[in-house]
Amino acid sequence: MNTNLRMPILISLCLILAFHKVAGQDLSNIRSQKPLKINGTFGSGFSFYNSNERYNSRDPFSWNVYASLTPTIYGISLPFSYTITQYSSSYSQPFVQMGISPSYKWITLHAGYRSITLSPLIFDGQSFLGGGVELKPGIFRFSAFYGRLNKAITEDTTIDRRLQPQYKRVGYGANIGIEKKGQKIALTYFHAKDDKNSIQLLDSANGLRPQENVALGFLWNFVFFKKLTFDGDIAASLLNRSLFYESLDNVEGVKIPGIVNMISPISYASVFGYSGRSKLSLRLSKFNMTLGYNRIQPDYSSLGTPYTVNDVETVNAQIGVNLLKGKLNFNTYAFTQHNNLAKSLSTEINSKSINFNANAIVNKHINLFFNANAVNVLQKDGLLKLTDSTRMNQLMLNFSLSPNYNFVKNQKSHNVNISINYTDLIDRNPATKEFTTGNNINIGSFYSVQFTKQYFGINAGLNFSTYGQLNYVYNSLGINAGGNMQFLKEHNLNVAGNFGYYLNSSTNGTAANNFSFSLNSNMTHKKHSFGCFANYIITPPVILNPLDKINRVPIAVNTRNFTAGINYNYRF
């Protein structure tokens, strides 16, 4: 047996470990607990995918095996986690995640693969392999962690799907503050550094570089008169984008303090940035309002929140009203956003949006929902001067109305739903509006009835949509039907299926019809659960003549996609 696989397999067989997201366990009432109790879960799943697409969007076969064991000794719960997937072929060992988070009164410990939140701008929920602690005695709050953030992945240019290489990254952080009755202040510190010797890049053109980051932040939450809340956080980050550069002693003749280079050496690849956000909220019985502001400077980046988008400023507002004891609700949301905060880009993108929705409960059978939304995107001058023919200037409008009617009669539960949706894209650029301006109307109706005594139900729907672009019109009329039923004496075998067929037409005669079906089943028996599913979608070919009409085909064509899978779960 592969030595890299032996230990994880032995652990899984002995402990039947499981899901990698397990909450902390309370160890306080230890004396009143049973000496030993064990519960857990074991399961696996397999899925199959087949398509005639030129480039498959997913693997043709995938699988996973997971298990859990939570032994409880005198009330002390020790949850473990263990997961293996088919991606083991990409690494020297399977994809395994194990973790434990026991707690006693105001103390929580973390070990293994865990996640912790220090600050939304600095370190927010990123998984790490290591240890951590959370302390909450009285009003005092303290949390800290140390561990590996990224595993080293060597570049592999020999396989079709090249792995994205990454350096081994180790990080640590702490959060300290006070909290009482929803009010809180806290200070956050975070440090992360890549091991530049952990991998070797085979492609010299690869832009990946080892990095180091130090971030410091302050967050707060204040409550006034139990109605008004003011919260927010600010953060500053120093990022060294390449550890291959030597550190500097001074910058433009100004000596860098030694303590700074001890924390994070300054080099020509270092950048400093800051960010902040705040929100003011008012909550009354029939009225609520929120004002928010968010600003992230162009050079701000924290390795603890690697997907944060920088160079953006946003202002938003929300107002909500409920009347007639909650039977009539109105909500409005608006925001404006732009980039190019340093005025160093060639152009600036400015977007504005406003949304309004209303929900009315007419009676116990009828419910109405209305939504209206408008989004405007305007490209403004930056270092580059734009003309009307080169400037992006678009407005999108959307309106939807959805009444719903339901009632129960003679042990039958009926539901009728109608939806009307209209979308209009208005392009004010004279050079592009011929290819982008268009509108879409979609009208759908759905009816279902559930025979509660016979344990089965049927449903049917009708849908019509039309898409128009200048002199081109694409129409689609679809019908779908389905049903569900419970079998066996205990009604623990559920089977559901659906069939759909769409008749399509266009002004240039290039449309063809669509077909789809789905089937799924699930059975539970005592501690066992077994399920299976299958989906098949056919989109016939479209003859494009002339070929310049290809940009007007609104859906993928000439494809066949089949997906199926099975899963099993056992609880004890």
pLDDT in tens, 126-164: 889 999 999 999 999 999 999 999 988 887 666 555 567
Q: What is the DSSP letter of 153?
A: B
Strand partners, 271: 239
The helix/strand/coil state of 309 is coil
Position 323 scores a pLDDT of 94
Position 31 scores a pLDDT of 57
Position 4 scores a pLDDT of 41
Q: What is the DSSP letter of 186?
A: E
Of 560, 552, 476, whose CA–CA distance to 513 is shortest? 476
Q: What is the DSSP letter of 205?
A: T
The helix/strand/coil state of 434 is helix
Structural contact between residues 379 and 348, judged by C-beta atoms closer than 8 angstroms? yes
Position 91 scores a pLDDT of 34
What pLDDT, in 10s, does the model give residues 288-304? 999 999 999 999 999 99
Tokens matching residue 410:
């003679």
Of 423, 422, 420, whose CA–CA distance to 395 is shortest? 423
pTM, whole model, 2 decimals? Answer: 0.75
Structural contact between residues 289 and 316, judged by C-beta atoms closer than 8 angstroms? no
Structural contact between residues 130 and 101, judged by C-beta atoms closer than 8 angstroms? no
Per DSSP (E only), the strands in 284-390 are 287-296, 312-323, 328-338, 347-361, 366-381
Which residues have a Cβ under 8 Å from the Cβ of 2 and sit 6 or more positions away? none
H or E segment and range at residue 274 = strand 270-283
Q: What is the DSSP string of 76-129?
A: EE----EEEEGGGGGSSS-----EE-EEETTEEEEEEEEEEEEETTTEEEEEEE
Q: Looking up tokens 């001067």, which residue turns up?
A: 385
What pLDDT, in 10s, does the model give residues 43-58? 999 898 888 766 666 7
Ranges of residues in the chain whose predicted pLDDT is under 70: 1-33, 53-57, 73-81, 87-98, 156-163, 202-206, 510, 539-559
Separation between Cα atoms, residue 499 and residue 477, nearest integer Å: 14
What pLDDT, in 10s, does the model give residues 433-454? 888 889 999 999 999 999 988 8
Q: Looking up tokens 């005025």, which residue turns up?
A: 343
Structural contact between residues 457 and 450, judged by C-beta atoms closer than 8 angstroms? yes
